[in-house]
């Protein structure tokens, strides 16, 4: 179901409450180390400002359950001012009479950032009275927090019961990119799925199997599939409980005519440590006490050839233990192949996105999702409560 966006409503002269995901990483001094999430919602905030709304921005930061000086929004307010190039109002709370009177002073085009939403436990509990108190600040609710849309909290779903509720531009872009790939892909359509475990990606694998033409599997999860096919995987990460599930997925793929491709070779290491001895071996020759830590060069080439033929590529999960430089080559090669394929490319998942960013290839992808857990739940085919709560178009 498509949802209304800020383009479907008139916000002139209105007070607009915008849920963003400004849950950015900070160092020990509170300095923001990556402001991608703040930048990602600037188009929505700027559009509302240009259209004559008074814009009240709200977010959570970290996981406090009461006011906590370590999680105040002040550093985010500073960065937002810098990025917007204008002063913003920054009340010391997210609800209450003081906030309300500051809101009452706002003029069209003004921007305010509320204090951390999680200073109230009622936020996570999706308390209706709390949601009503937030909603009372504004005339319209905009949700631009794709990264929080898989959570049903007061600010992500609760407020939508009390106000006209529409999606922001980032939310709209995320839904269009991820939804477009899943529902209306230009074919051939490939998914590259990696990461540590089958168990955390089972629902994604099942949902994608029914949609893709080609499923390339890498990362630790490939080990369970390889073992299911009878290969010895030595001391590699393995989920013995999921061997039957892996066999079922392979059978299901065969029945559907979906091609699942598994690694031909692997980089194995004596220990999962950056300074451990390591080498590439064929999948049939994994040494007993060694662990698979990356796809090998033959597999890199195989996956690159397959990806070069695709028109749509969805990628979730690194091909190896990419946090350790010697084991990042497989992930690098796949990222490069996706970039070079010219396919519509969508990357989702916290570690996958970190990997393409570290590799400097993020701008070569059609879409890099800002939602880690939310993107995964979307790829599982689940309805995100923060999306469901918005008004239908």
- What is the footprint of ligand ADP within residues 82-141 (CB under 6 A)? none
Cα–Cα distance between 303 and 300 in angstroms, integer? Answer: 5
Single residue of 64, 164, 168, 320 touching ligand ADP by CB under 6 A = 320
CB-CB contact of 169 with 49 (8 Å): no
Rule CB under 6 A: say whether 369 interacts with ligand ADP.
no
CB atoms within 10 A of CB 52: 14
Single residue of 109, 180, 350, 381 touching ligand ADP by CB under 6 A = 350
Which residues form the catalytic set? 37, 197, 350, 373
- Residue 168 or 234 having the CB closest to ligand ADP: 234
What residues does 294 pair with on adjacent strands?
267
Rule CB under 6 A: say whether 357 interacts with ligand ADP.
no
Single residue of 148, 172, 345, 352 touching ligand ADP by CB under 6 A = 352
Contact code string over 217-256 relative to ligand ADP, x by CB under 6 A: --xx----------------x-------------------
Residue 168 burial (10 A CB sphere; 0-12, 13-18, 19+) = buried
Cβ of residue 92: shortest distance to ligand ADP, in angstroms? 35
Single residue of 100, 196, 243, 250 touching ligand ADP by CB under 6 A = 196
172 binds, among ligand ADP, Mg ion, none (CB under 5 to 8 A by kind): none
Single residue of 195, 234, 263, 296 touching ligand ADP by CB under 6 A = 195
- Residue 36 or 309 having the CB closest to Mg ion: 36
Q: DSSP 3-state helix, strand, coil percentages of the chain (rounded to 5)?
A: 40, 15, 40
- What is the footprint of Mg ion within residues 92-121 (CB under 5 A)? none
Rule CB under 6 A: say whether 263 interacts with ligand ADP.
no
- What is the footprint of Mg ion within residues 307-366 (CB under 5 A)? 350-351
Cα–Cα distance between 221 and 217 in angstroms, integer? Answer: 8
Q: Phi-psi bin for 2: left (phi > 0), alpha (psi -120 to 50), beta?
A: beta
Helices (H), the chain: 36-40, 42-50, 74-84, 97-104, 121-124, 128-135, 169-183, 202-209, 221-228, 243-256, 297-308, 329-341, 350-358, 373-379, 385-388
Cα–Cα distance between 370 and 40 in angstroms, integer? Answer: 8
143 binds, among ligand ADP, Mg ion, none (CB under 5 to 8 A by kind): none
Rule CB under 6 A: say whether 380 interacts with ligand ADP.
no
- Report the residue count for the chain: 393
Helix axes 74-84, 42-50, angle to 10 degrees: 60
Count of residues that bind ligand ADP according to CB under 6 A: 20
Rule CB under 6 A: say whether 318 interacts with ligand ADP.
yes
Cβ of residue 46: shortest distance to Mg ion, in angstroms? 31
Sites of contact with ligand ADP (CB under 6 A): 194-196, 200, 219-220, 237, 292-293, 316-318, 320-321, 323, 349-352, 376
């Amino acid at each position: 179901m498509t949802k209304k966006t800020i383009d479907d409503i008139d916000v002139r002269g209105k007070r607009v409450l915008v849920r963003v995901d400004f849950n950015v990483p900070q160092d020990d001094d509170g300095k923001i180390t990556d402001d991608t999430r703040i930048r990602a919602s600037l188009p929505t905030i700027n559009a509302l400002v240009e259209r004559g709304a008074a814009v009240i921005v709200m977010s959570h930061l970290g996981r406090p359950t009461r006011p906590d000086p370590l999680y105040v929004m002040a550093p985010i307010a500073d960065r937002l001012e810098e990025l917007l190039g204008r002063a913003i109002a920054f009340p010391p709370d997210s609800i209450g009479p003081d906030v309300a009177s500051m809101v009452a002073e706002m003029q069209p085009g003004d921007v305010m950032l509320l204090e951390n939403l999680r200073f109230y436990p009622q936020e996570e509990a999706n308390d209706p009275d709390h949601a009503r108190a937030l909603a009372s600040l504004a005339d319209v609710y905009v949700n631009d927090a794709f990264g929080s849309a898989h959570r049903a909290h007061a600010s992500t779903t609760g407020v939508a019961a009390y106000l006209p509720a529409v999606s922001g531009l980032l939310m709209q872009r995320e839904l269009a990119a991820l939804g477009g790939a899943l529902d209306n892909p230009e074919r051939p359509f490939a998914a590259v799925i990696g990461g540590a475990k089958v168990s955390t990606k089972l629902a994604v694998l099942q949902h994608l199997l029914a949609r893709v033409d080609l499923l390339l599997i890498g990362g630790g999860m490939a080990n369970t599939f390889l073992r299911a096919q009878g290969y010895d995987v030595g001391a590699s990460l393995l989920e013995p409980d999921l061997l039957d599930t892996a066999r079922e997925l392979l059978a299901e793929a065969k029945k559907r005519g979906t091609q699942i491709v598994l690694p031909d070779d692997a980089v194995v290491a004596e220990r999962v440590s950056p300074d451990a001895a390591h080498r590439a071996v064929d999948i049939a020759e994994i040494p007993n006490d060694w662990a698979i830590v990356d796809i090998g060069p033959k597999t890199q080439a195989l996956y690159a050839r397959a990806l070069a033929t695709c028109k749509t590529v969805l990628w979730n999960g690194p091909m190896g233990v990419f946090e350790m430089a010697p084991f990042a080559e497989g992930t690098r090669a796949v990222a490069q192949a996706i970039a070079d394929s010219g396919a519509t490319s969508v990357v989702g998942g916290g570690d996958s996105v970190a990997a393409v960013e570290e590799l400097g290839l993020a701008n070569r992808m059609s879409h890099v999702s800002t939602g880690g857990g939310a993107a995964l739940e979307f790829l599982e085919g689940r309805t995100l409560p923060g999306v469901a709560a918005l008004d239908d178009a």
